[in-house]
């Protein structure tokens, strides 16, 4: 059953994937924060905009935070790059712009860095930001906090990296003291100082390592009991049949590493307590992540069993309703493709049901929600093909529920920077 489920996961992912086309329509910048998808409250947007304006004044680095209702049939990378060039994010000549783009409809995000900022905010650092600060919030349904946390992490990474350069500039500009000739008295003083330092270093060499090892030993012996309890609780959770085998194997592997530590502490002979402390601390995050994954898998399985049967009843009606809509108006190849994928997936559901002695709702629910998404996408694509969208953003900005305009403060707009084509970089993610 586990092998079948994993195979179906792959099939579902392949069926859900779709091609995208390029478009050239972009909204106009309203400030450092441009919440066109209305994911932030007005207070959150205004506060974040003020932070970014102050950050620009401090570092000259321009960060644009943008949410859009959809990507106009572009990839998240092309849209972020095109928008960055259209707005000129970054200072001219410095190419130090950053674009943080979120597209909730496509469930995608992008941190785009210009060439002048890439050495500071590397692609790997951007990966860490969206993996650790943004995506967990998005997956939990708290998109506003994910945007805020991600922006703060971007600023923190850029500010920490630019601080040494600023300190160096201040040092180079400081007045230099006048020099005097070296005397024999200076030599004596230097000898006393060096002798004192050597003595202090020797004392530290003799005393500090044993003290550190003693502290590490106490820490390990005190902490391992709590870690053992966490592993025991995790193992009880892992007994659920709803936990994926892959997640269970991760727990078993990590528990094996902990058991080796437990065995070493039992002997207390020839133990490197400093190394054990480091290993013990390194288990905290992966163990927490595994427990979180197991709970999420169990919750998803319960949801699948609860909502799956009702959704299965609705699917034929969904497909039929979309078929009727597509029969009217201008034909859209993209809408037809979405509909065909939905039909194929429904046939797969029927085949899965006939081959199961007991319905695996985790497998079926994944396919059913994908069918639901494909029918909705088919309807949206058909509607788009039969509607004039040339003024989407201009009409949005004049409507009553338009994105708030937070402004640029005293700068008046972005600085006309470039560097997003050659030498730029970034990181993309989805949830």
**CATH number of 110's domain:** 3.10.310.50
What does the DSSP 8-state code read for residue 91?
B
pTM of the model: 0.45
- Alpha-carbon Rg for the chain in angstroms: 29
Residues 62, 125 within the same domain: yes
d(CA 343, CA 350): 11
Residue 54 maps to a domain: yes
d(CA 62, CA 158): 11
Residues 118, 68 within the same domain: yes
Give the residues of the chain that fall short of pLDDT 70: 1-25, 160-180, 199-200, 202-209, 268-269, 356-359, 388-412, 421-424
What does the DSSP 8-state code read for residue 415?
-
Residues 367, 424 within the same domain: no
**CA of 367: how far to CAs of 140, 192, 200, 313, in Å?**
21, 78, 69, 14
Residues 34, 144 within the same domain: yes
**Residue 425 β-bridge partners:** 113
Residue 415 backbone phi and psi in degrees, to 5? -85, 5
Residues 421, 379 within the same domain: no
Residue 325 backbone phi and psi in degrees, to 5? -65, -40
Q: Which two tokens stand for residue 149?
A: 């946390």
**CATH number of 354's domain:** 1.20.5
d(CA 421, CA 118): 12
Residues 67, 139 within the same domain: yes
Residue 392 maps to a domain: no
Residue 394 maps to a domain: no
Count of alpha carbons within 13 angstroms of residue 333, beta-carbon side: 4
d(CA 147, CA 246): 30
Residues 379, 419 within the same domain: no
What residues make up the domain containing 45?
19-163+401-430
Residue 380 maps to a domain: yes
Residue 225 maps to a domain: no
Q: Is 423 left (phi over 0), alpha (psi -120 to 50) or beta?
A: left
How high does pLDDT run on average in the chain? Answer: 81
Residues 341, 422 within the same domain: no
- pLDDT recorded at residue 215: 87
Q: Which two tokens stand for residue 241?
A: 């049949």
Alpha helices in 119-272 (DSSP H): 123-129, 135-139, 143-173, 184-238, 245-267
Smallest CA-to-CA distance from 109 within 39, 22, 28, 26 is with: 39
Residues 426, 309 within the same domain: no
Residues 372, 315 within the same domain: yes
Question: What 3-state class would DSSP assign to 418?
Answer: coil
Residue 372 maps to a domain: yes
Domain count, the chain: 2
d(CA 40, CA 46): 9
Residue 169 maps to a domain: no
Residues 101, 143 within the same domain: yes
Question: Which are the contacts of 187, defined by CB distance < 8 A and separation ≥ 6?
Answer: none
Beta strands 108-113 and 425-430: pairing type?
antiparallel
d(CA 291, CA 314): 34
Residues 36, 103 within the same domain: yes
Residue 406 maps to a domain: yes
d(CA 101, CA 141): 17
């Amino acid at each position: 059953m586990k092998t079948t489920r994993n195979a179906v996961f792959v099939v579902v992912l392949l069926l859900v994937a779709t091609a995208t086309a390029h478009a050239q329509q972009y909204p106009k910048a309203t400030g450092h924060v441009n919440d066109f998808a209305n994911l932030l409250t007005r207070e959150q947007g205004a506060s974040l905009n003020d932070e970014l304006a102050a950050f620009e004044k401090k570092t000259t680095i321009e960060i644009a935070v943008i949410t859009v209702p959809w990507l106009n049939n572009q990839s998240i990378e092309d849209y972020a790059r095109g928008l960055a060039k259209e707005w000129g994010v970054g200072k001219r000549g410095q190419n130090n712009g950053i674009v943080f783009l979120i597209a909730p409809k496509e469930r995608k995000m992008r941190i785009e860095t210009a060439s002048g900022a890439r050495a500071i905010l590397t692609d790997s650092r951007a990966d860490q930001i969206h993996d650790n600060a943004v995506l967990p919030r998005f997956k939990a349904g708290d998109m506003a906090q994910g945007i805020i946390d991600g922006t703060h992490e971007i600023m923190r990474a850029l500010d920490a990296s630019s601080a040494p350069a600023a300190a160096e500039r201040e040092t180079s500009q400081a007045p230099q003291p006048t020099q005097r000739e070296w005397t024999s008295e200076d030599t004596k003083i230097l000898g006393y100082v060096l002798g004192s330092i050597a003595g202090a270093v020797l004392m530290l060499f003799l005393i500090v390592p044993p003290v550190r090892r003693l502290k590490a030993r106490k820490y390990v012996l005190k902490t391992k009991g709590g870690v053992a309890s966490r592993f025991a609780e995790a193992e009880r959770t892992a007994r659920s049949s709803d936990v994926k085998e892959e997640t269970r194997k991760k727990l078993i592997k990590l528990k094996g590493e902990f058991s080796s530590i437990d065995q070493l502490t039992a002997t207390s002979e020839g133990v490197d307590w400093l190394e054990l402390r480091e290993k013990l601390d390194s288990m905290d995050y992966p163990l927490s992540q595994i427990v979180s994954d197991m709970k999420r898998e169990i919750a998803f399985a319960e949801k699948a069993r609860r909502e799956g049967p009702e959704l299965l009843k609705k699917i034929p009606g969904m497909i039929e309703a979309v078929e009727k809509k597509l029969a009217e108006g201008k034909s859209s190849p993209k809408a037809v493709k979405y509909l065909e994928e939905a039909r194929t997936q429904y046939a797969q559901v029927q085949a899965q049901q006939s081959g199961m002695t007991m319905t695996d709702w985790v497998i079926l629910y994944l396919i059913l929600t994908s069918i639901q998404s494909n029918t909705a996408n088919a309807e949206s694509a058909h509607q788009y093909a039969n509607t004039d969208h040339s003024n989407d953003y201009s009409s949005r900005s004049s409507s009553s529920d338009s994105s708030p305009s937070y402004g640029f403060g005293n700068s008046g707009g972005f600085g006309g920077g470039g560097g997003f084509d050659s030498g730029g970089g970034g990181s993309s993610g989805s949830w």
